[in-house]
Amino acid sequence: MAPDIDRIWSAGTDVAPSPTDERKNLVKRVLNQKVFVPNLLSLMPAWPTDIYPDIDEVTKVIDEWLPTVNVDEKKKAKHRARGDYPLLTAVYYPHCTKDKMITLIQFLYWIFLFDDEIDTGGDLTDDREGTQRCCDETNKCIDDCLGPNPNYTPPPNSRGTVEMFYPILRDFRASLSPICTERFRVELHEYVNGVGRQQQIRQEDRLPDPWYHLQIRADDVGVVPSITQNEFAMNFELPEYVRRHEAMEAIVLECTKLTVLINELVSMQKEFRVGQLENQVFLFMNKYNISVQGAVDKILDLIRERYQVCIAAEERLPWSKDDGKFNEDIREYVRGCHRLATGTAYWSCACERYFQKGQVNDKMEFLVDLSYE
């Protein structure tokens, strides 16, 4: 990636440091800083947080299913202990039935197991060829299960994350309309390919521009397929012309950006400790020569802005004057978009995937510790 020629790297010089020095200098500025982050839900005040009521019951089912998944036991144990994906599913889809809740939890297990293989610290972190094979095999699974000629049998010797995905997608297809199935298929391809692109960016010599990073994270974070899953969860079909309406496209995009920005804030401690500097906080620090707190404040302002853009877009949706069911389906789809942002914020402060519970107070404010402890 070409260096940013507009960046003034230090007083008295216009010469950018080497890529190694760029990263070292940024680490020095970040190391041992502590930064306070307010309750992120308070930035989206009109959007409530509901929770599926029978989490313990579905968690028991998931705990019986997880040992059957052909993935390394230590990896599964880590995700089970720190992730609490039943809770995340419960805040994403709080009003669905038990059987669908189980499928949705299984999907979130898949998405985190798949992503963590390629993300910093995974088995494929520095293996571009291995990552491409993993993405190719996963894309084949998506086409096998959601394409015109469904096949739910994994190829022999499939990797664990591919093998587990076949029955999950089979269960989704059973309850999705043909139009929604095709949309889901395309969105999953975009997600999988986006994860592969993100790995390549982490291997570039230069740190990426933060605005470019935000753009590609909106593709690889997996929000859009999770929004489509709301139709599966609540058993309705949004007409395609409504989904492609400019206002709905804006809502989907803005809620995706909100979810990405929230994730950047809650994950910065975890990512810094494994040496991953491709986080919006650190990239803003690097581009604008601002402090950690200044970068966090910039992201908080962006969350407020994107929230207002989303609120405004809802007024432009193609509401019906007399079809109450049609309007309720639109409302449910929009609420599903909202819940990807609010649910991510709530869950991140209620589990230990990103930081210890002792770092979060009873107001859901948290203190990020950017040390190597």
Q: What is the dihedral of CA 338, 303, 296, 35, to 10 degrees?
A: -40
Alpha-carbon 277 to chain mean position: 17
pLDDT of 116: 83
Tally Cβ neighbours within 10 Å of residue 66: 18
Picking from 363, 372, 324, the residue whose alpha carbon sits closest to that of residue 345 is: 363
What are 37's strand-pairing partners? 366
pLDDT of 129: 87
Cα 282–Cα 370–Cα 126 angle in degrees, nearest 5: 60
Q: Report the distance separating Cα 29 and Cα 52, nearest Å.
A: 42
Picking from 112, 41, 111, 89, the residue whose alpha carbon sits closest to that of residue 266 is: 41
pLDDT of 115: 86
3-class secondary structure for the chain? Answer: CCCCCCCCCECCECCCCCHHHHHHHHHHHHCCEEEEECCHHHHCCCCCCCCCCCHHHHHHHHHHHHHHCCCCHHHHHHHHHHCCHHHHHHHHCCCCCHHHHHHHHHHHHHHHHHHHHHCCCCCCCCCHHHHHHHHHHHHHHHHHHHCCCCCCCCCCCCCHHHHCHHHHHHHHHCCCCHHHHHHHHHHHHHHHHHHHHHHHHHCCCCCCCHHHHHHHHHHHCCHHHHHHHHHHHHCCCCCHHHHCCHHHHHHHHHHHHHHHHHHHHHHHHHHHHCCCCCCHHHHHHHHHCCCHHHHHHHHHHHHHHHHHHHHHHHCCCCCCCCCHHHHHHHHHHHHHHHHHHHHHHHHHCCCCCCCCHHHECCCCCEEEEECCC
Picking from 340, 360, 315, the residue whose alpha carbon sits closest to that of residue 261 is: 340
Question: For the whole model, what pTM was predicted?
Answer: 0.90
Picking from 283, 266, 312, the residue whose alpha carbon sits closest to that of residue 215 is: 283
pLDDT of 271: 93
pLDDT of 12: 37
CA distances 91 to 30, 52, 111, 221, 349, Å, are: 32, 7, 17, 17, 13
pLDDT of 8: 29
Residue 343 tokens read as 């649910």
pLDDT of 26: 96
Identify the segments of the chain with pLDDT beneath 50. 1-14
pLDDT digits (tens, 9 = 90+) for 20-59: 789 999 999 999 999 999 999 999 999 999 999 999 999 9
The burial of 327, by beta-carbon neighbours within 10 Å (0-12 exposed, 13-18 middle, 19 or more buried), is given as: middle
Beta carbons of 265 and 37 less than 8 angstroms apart: yes
